[in-house]
């Protein structure tokens, strides 16, 4: 099973997302990526946030594991649906740190814009992984996440479609 680490990064009430235009509508991703073979999860998160946002994780505070999501979704093409476990962290940065972050994410496949949305708007967008409903329901960005809310409903072909 593959593991993907990601971080819902807050600056005030807004979160950083990667937006990619698609014919069926914009696709949003939480910054992060796959954990390499024998790579520590925190090292992978640090590497991915540096690559995608130009963020030094030492400039963030309150980093903690917030949500887990199981995935078995077919991607376009003939590849089998890979089983993946998403480890979604939450962290917080200041306006000063935000000012130094990237505005475009360069990916091996395609570029995406870094956009900032109010966390309460996450429920209405096509978001990967699917933390939108739980994140939008938080009373505040730093609200405690109950143990019952950590495990998210799985991503499957019935609940998620690649655009």
pLDDT digit string, tens, across residues 122-131:
998 999 999 9
Q: How confident is the model at residue 24 (pLDDT cuts 50, 70, 90)?
A: confident
Q: How confident is the model at residue 77 (pLDDT cuts 50, 70, 90)?
A: low
Q: Which residues contact 117 (CB under 8 A, 6 or more apart)?
A: 14, 15, 17, 28, 125
Beta bridge partner(s), residue 107: none
Return d(Cα 159, Cα 144) in angstroms, integer: 26
Question: What's the mean per-residue pLDDT of the chain?
Answer: 91
Distances in whole angstroms, Cα of residue 23 to Cα of each of 27, 44, 158:
10, 31, 20
pLDDT greater than 70 at residue 80: no
Closest to 67 measured CA to CA, from 110, 111, 6? 6
Return d(Cα 162, Cα 108) in angstroms, integer: 17
Q: How confident is the model at residue 76 (pLDDT cuts 50, 70, 90)?
A: low
pLDDT at residue 9, rounded to an integer: 98
């Amino acid at each position: 099973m593959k593991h993907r680490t990601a971080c819902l990064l807050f600056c005030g009430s807004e979160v950083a997302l990667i937006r990619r235009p698609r014919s069926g509508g914009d696709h949003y991703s939480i910054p992060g990526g796959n954990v390499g073979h024998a790579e520590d999860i925190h090292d992978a998160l640090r590497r991915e946030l540096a690559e995608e946002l130009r963020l030094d994780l030492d400039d963030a505070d309150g980093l903690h594991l917030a949500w887990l999501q199981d995935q078995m979704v077919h991607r376009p093409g003939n590849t089998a649906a890979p089983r993946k476990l998403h480890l979604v962290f939450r962290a917080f940065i200041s306006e000063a740190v935000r000012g130094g972050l990237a505005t475009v994410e360069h990916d091996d496949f395609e570029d995406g814009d870094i956009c900032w949305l109010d966390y309460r708007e996450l429920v209405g967008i096509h978001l990967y992984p699917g933390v939108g409903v739980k994140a939008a329901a938080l009373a505040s960005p730093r609200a405690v996440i109950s143990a019952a809310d950590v495990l998210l409903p799985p991503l499957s072909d019935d609940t998620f479609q690649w655009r």
